[in-house]
Amino acid sequence: MARNPVRVLHFVTGGFSGGATQVALQLVNAARDSANIDPLLVLRRKRRGDPARIAELQRDGVPLQVVPGWSHLASILALVRVCREFKPDVLVAHGFSEHLWGRYAGLLAKVPHLVHVEHNTRERYTRWRLAQTRWLARRTVRIVGCSEGVREALLGMGMPPDRTIAIPNGIRLEAFAGADAHPVPSRTPGIVMVSRFSKQKDHATLLRAVALLGERGLRPPVLLAGGGKALHRRPLEKLADQLDLRDQVQFLGVIRNVPEVLMTHRIAVLSTHYEGMPLALIEGMAAGCAVVGSAVPGVREVISQGEDGLLVPESDASALADALETLLRDDAVATRLGAAARQVALERHGRDLMNARYEALFLSLVGERIRTP
């Protein structure tokens, strides 16, 4: 007997620079290929958003709507209208602070099942917003952390243990199928960090570590790929000048060929102050890079020290320089760690596994309304 697919609306920021939007888009695209889920992606317009990217998604057939972002009330009221038209069975509100406005709209539109997905271990919760989050949690069927570390952070915020779960994020592995054709010793002996420029990320420590490498006779090229505000990028450009690194460091901005860049370079770094589930680092692993990450929650969940990557203390430029020097000078270590990292990414961090877990969650919430013979 054929039954209607479950209608799932994903609400997320339209900034495109963070992992929350990437995950929501991945889930929507996966659902397009599923007979069980009818998806809709709703983006909250950002002042520094990318209209060209939205137009590209629409041309690609992604079911997509955009609601205004100039005020919280405008976002909520517009999303209520979308909900009343689409009639979702499940509304999934991704990330801070969109999970607040999305769930308020879901309550007003009487959406049967609300799901909150948290994408970081640390966010800018004021007392008032934390109070709102706790109030909404009592009206939310599942609260999902994108890693076990995020789930633990949610529990520490007072989220209900019986409804707070972890579903690790995943990446599209197909883009990295050619990684084995690029042995580590033959790659450009350079460093890639794919990350937006923000307070969360710690590009400055990476730049200081690279300066220390120069004192040790190593001057690897450094590629910094990612968007973010000029407010955060410009001080880093100034720091690169002060450290005499501008001939080594390239500020690439947002690029569309991340897999190719990673697969042709030796080292992928994520220098950061906190994370949820570090997709950029997982992409480096899938690309077969030797990876180095700051030893913070989220990153520690992905890297096993000395087995498939190297962990260094947060904000410790000297320790980061030591790790980078090892990987630049020792082909055998870099090759071993890169191969192990790729295997871990293939086995544990694929998008298909993440998609299957979310689909199972959505189906369970609406009583297994699936297509059956």
290 plus 157 within the same structural domain: no
pLDDT in tens, 229-268: 899 999 999 999 999 998 999 999 999 999 999 999 999 9
The CB density around residue 126, as the number of other CB atoms within 10 Å, is: 8
Whether residue 372 is contained in a domain is answered as no
Residue identified by tokens 């000395």 is 306
Among 92-96, 277-281, 333-337, the minimum mean pLDDT is found in 277-281
Whether residue 371 is contained in a domain is answered as no
CATH of the domain at 65: 3.40.50.2000
314 plus 357 within the same structural domain: no
**Mean pLDDT for all residues in the chain:** 94
What CA–CA distance (Å, rounded) separates 111 from 88? 6
For residue 370, pLDDT over 80 is answered with no
23 plus 121 within the same structural domain: yes
257 plus 305 within the same structural domain: yes
> Pairing mode, if any, of strands 249-253 and 222-225?
parallel
Q: Domain range spanning residue 296?
A: 173-348
> Pairing mode, if any, of strands 310-312 and 64-67?
unpaired
What CA–CA distance (Å, rounded) separates 24 from 199? 23
Q: Which tokens go with 75?
A: 């976002």
Whether residue 216 is contained in a domain is answered as yes
Residue identified by tokens 């871990």 is 344
What CA–CA distance (Å, rounded) separates 245 from 251? 12
pLDDT at 371: 43
* Cis peptide upstream of residue 97 (ω within 30 degrees of 0): yes
What CA–CA distance (Å, rounded) separates 93 from 107? 12
109 plus 179 within the same structural domain: no
Question: Phi and psi dihedrals of 54, rounded to 5?
Answer: -60, -45
For the entire predicted model, the pTM comes to 0.83
**Residue 276 and residue 150 in contact, taking contact as beta carbons nearer than 8 Å:** yes
Whether residue 255 is contained in a domain is answered as yes
**372: pLDDT confidence band, cut at 50, 70 and 90?**
very low
Q: Which tokens go with 99?
A: 């999970």
84 plus 207 within the same structural domain: no
313-320 long-range Cβ contacts below 8 angstroms, 24+ apart: 314/202, 314/272, 314/273, 315/202, 315/205, 315/273, 316/205, 317/205, 317/208, 317/209, 317/211, 317/212, 318/209, 318/212, 320/205, 320/206, 320/209, 320/269, 320/271, 320/292
For residue 295, pLDDT over 90 is answered with yes
Q: Which helix (H) or strand (E) holds 132?
A: helix 127-137
162 plus 15 within the same structural domain: yes
Total tally of structural domains belonging to the chain: 2
| Inter-CA distances, 107 with 17, 93, 100, 102, 136, Å | 28, 12, 11, 9, 9
249 plus 305 within the same structural domain: yes
pLDDT at 56: 93
Whether residue 1 is contained in a domain is answered as no
Whether residue 373 is contained in a domain is answered as no
What CA–CA distance (Å, rounded) separates 79 from 208? 45
pLDDT in tens, 124-167: 899 999 999 999 999 999 999 999 989 999 999 999 999 999 99
Residue 335: name the closest of 182, 191, 172, 220 by CA.
182
154 plus 270 within the same structural domain: no
pLDDT in tens, 169-222: 999 999 999 999 999 999 999 999 999 999 999 999 999 999 999 999 999 999
